[in-house]
Amino acid sequence: MHNEKHQDVNATTSEKSIHTDFTNNMTYGEYLQLDKILSAQNRLSGHHDEMLFIVIHQVSELWMKLILHEMGAAIESIENNNLSAAQKRLARVSKTQSQIIQAWDVLSTLTPSEYMEFRDSLGQASGFQSYQYRMVEFALGYKTEHVLKIYQKDPELHAKLTEAFEKPGLYDVAIRALHKAGLPVDEDILNRDVTRTYKENDSVRAAWMTVYKNPEKYWELYELAEKLVDIEDWLQQWRFRHMKTVERIIGFKMGTGGSSGVGYLKKVLDQRFFPELWDIRTEL
């Protein structure tokens, strides 16, 4: 015990350069605005396990903020023909997605009995209303205009979502990159209405097939394609873990937001974002 105390004193005295006076300097907590972040977990029920529920969802929203930040930059990089920068950003998106997937493992420690103790406190609030998740879908090219109605209560947020809804998605700019590389893509796809969900196209499939058959010649497009596959793969894994966690905690009850719950979550597992990139695997 005495030896441990002696080591602790030595460790402290050997770090004399550590700053301790922050009278006029910014602290770690001030830089991260921890006063705002750590005071935002307000349990409406007072139940112990509601803290877990709030923190998991807040952490997921923070990770989604980073995903949107990186995907927006990746889209811009592809538009500017800087595919290597886009790949770096999309690789970070995939790593971030893995963190969100693991969050479900923590939430699944919540039992049905515990959740029922505070579920009524949520009212009609639901993850279905997550506007950042909608923006992720928009960036991936899945556009559903009716979801914008959810956000009409807040004009500023509605305008932000509408702007994201009307922008080209990640796959739109990737397809344009195929065209810029000299691969033939139908004009109606290049000039399509980006507010509509993308539907697969033969010319796009043929272009990606050429890339995969000639990876040395089209190396950057080949790498970009694999990054897109990573992102869709991880997104579907996130959705699957979401569905199984909900089934584990509430079974087949209706969701707080009015959706069919597990039934709805199973249905969205069939959505595809980059269909040709999956189809060509059978054909190669």
Residue numbers in the known binding site are 53-57, 115, 119, 242, 256
In the numeric block, the tokens 């290049």 are attached to: 190
Q: How far apart are CA 194 and CA 3, in angstroms?
A: 68
Q: At CA 239, angle to CA 69 and CA 198, rounded to 5?
A: 65
Pick out the residues of the known binding site for substrate: 53-57, 115, 119, 256
State the helix-helix crossing angle for 155-166 and 131-139, rounded to 10 degrees.
Answer: 10
**Amino acid symbol at 192:** R
Long-range contacts (CB closer than 8 Å, 24 or more residues apart) made by 281-284: 283/209, 284/209, 284/212, 284/213
Name the binding residues for heme. 242
Mind giving me the DSSP string for 221-275? Answer: HHHHHHHHHHHHHHHHHHHHHHHHHHHHHHTTPPPTTSS-THHHHHHHTT--SSH
